[in-house]
Amino acid sequence: MKEIKLKIECQSCQGTGVYQGMAERDGAAVICHTCKGTGCQDYTFRYNDFEGRIKKRGVERVYLSGYGYCISPKPITLSNGTFVDFPNEGVSYGDFLKGNMPKHIKQMGCPMMADQGACHNKKGFVDNCGKLNGSYLSYIPSCKHGNKMECWDRFEKEAAHD
């Protein structure tokens, strides 16, 4: 284990040495409890040099995400009746260690649940989600459209044009 000792700007007071919260009014401030008024903190960063990915014991399969569900390498049926064949989703741990990455488990969630950032980067994608839902979509799991595969097709077609 290596370490580097650093003197950094105090993260509590942003280097000012003083704190103003809801109890400090009309120009009053108190001494920052973290840095004791110095504006700086001594910080020790501990690390190991990266020598390659370390193998984790007990892992059988690797998935891109759990999409808010508990996941297992065994097949399951979700509470909504959707069957998920986990042994054929994701990648084996051995394949992952060789550099293969898993893909989204499409029946677990729509593109917005899987990668909202990518959806927002596709012009008009999120607006179309609102139209398919029947109104502005403020809470993704409440979408009334319900056809995840149609949404995945739309997502992938738009990805091909990016």
pTM above 0.85, yes or no: no
| CA 61 – CA 95 distance, rounded (Å) | 9
pLDDT at 58 over 60: yes
Question: Residues 67-120: pLDDT tens digits?
Answer: 888 889 999 888 878 889 999 999 999 999 999 999 999 988 889 888 888 998
CA 53 to chain centre: 21
Give the residue, 156 or 102, on which the prediction is more confident: 102
Alpha-carbon separation of residue 99 from 78, 115, 143 (angstroms): 30, 21, 35
